[in-house]
Chain A
Amino acid sequence: MRPQIQILSFIEAPPHMVWRSITEAELISQWLMETDIRPVPGFKGYFKMKPMPGFDGHITCEVLEVIENRVFEYSWQGGWMKKPTTVRFTLEEKDNGTLLVLEHRGFEGILGNLLRRMMSGGWKKMLTQKIPSLIQAMS
């Protein structure tokens, strides 16, 4: 299994309303978190989560793809995410509403951290049995 998340949601509102809610900083802060993001390719900004133990809550992002009312993609990096992950929203008009697909991928850095922990813990069984399948999953 490739490490990624995919969530589908049907929203009873037209795509342009969903679009505003996922691309305008003020609206994003109402459902996701504080941000200064703008739907402009190459725009570099931040997201701010509630700080947690082991994580200052600061996430950096860069807008990667913008197709109005259809696709919004940005990178996401912070805390234990050693490499940037990618968050992608896809909108599709359907039955007088919007089918929203959220994909979050690129968790290699996090898996890497887990692998490092396994090795420092000396789980020999994990090394011989689990890691090959993890590496396969990542490639």
Chain B
Amino acid sequence: MKERRDVFFAIADESRRTILMKLASEEEPIPISAIISGFGTSRSAVAKHIKVLEESGLVSTEFRGRENYISLEAAKLEEVYEWVFFFEQFWIGKIHKLKKMVEANYKKTNTKK
């Protein structure tokens, strides 16, 4: 068995979170091309992200016809407090940005005085 990657590492990346959201909005496994079409990036970049997700157990892939089909392993995702985690990561990043912005603006108004 492959060495498993940490789930938190897998979902720490925004592109990979986006892929998971896309998968969660579908009922059935979707072909890799459907994921790629929503991205402005190369096929190989998307394939790498999917490989990381697969190694962490968050998705599974199945070769059907000419394409790999990807499906979400929701049971695995449940380990990381479901979708709440996505928003948590989102807000942590945004609040950090807010803090930096307000503090920079405050310094500016102080030096003007």
Contacts and interface: CB of A to CB of B under 8 A. Distances in A.
Interface in B52-78: 72, 74-75, 77-78
Interface residues of A, number: 39
B21 A9 contact: no
Contacts of A12: 103, 106
B91 A54 contact: no
Contacts of A4: 84
Interface stretch (A38-46, A64-72, A114-122): A114-122
Interface in A24-57: 27, 30-32, 52-55
Given A55-B21, A114-B74, A120-B27, A107 B102 contact: no
Interface string A1-23: 10111010101111001100110
Interface in B75-90: 75, 77-78, 81-84, 87-88
A2 to B, nearest CB: 10
Interface string B26-41: 1100000011011100
Contact of A17 (B18, B23, B25, B102): B102
B1 interface: no
Contact of B25 (A22, A80, A121): A80
Contact of B24 (A7, A21, A80, A123): A80
B82 A110 contact: yes
B35 A102 contact: no
Given A54-B22, A118-B75, A123-B75, A7 B106 contact: no
Contacts of B99: 9, 11, 100
A94 B28 CA distance: 51
B26 A54 contact: yes
Contact of A52 (B21, B26, B82): B21
A130 interface: yes
A18 to B, nearest CB: 5
Contacts of B38: 52-54
CB-based closest 7 A-B pairs: A53-B38, A54-B25, A13-B106, A53-B22, A54-B22, A110-B83, A31-B97
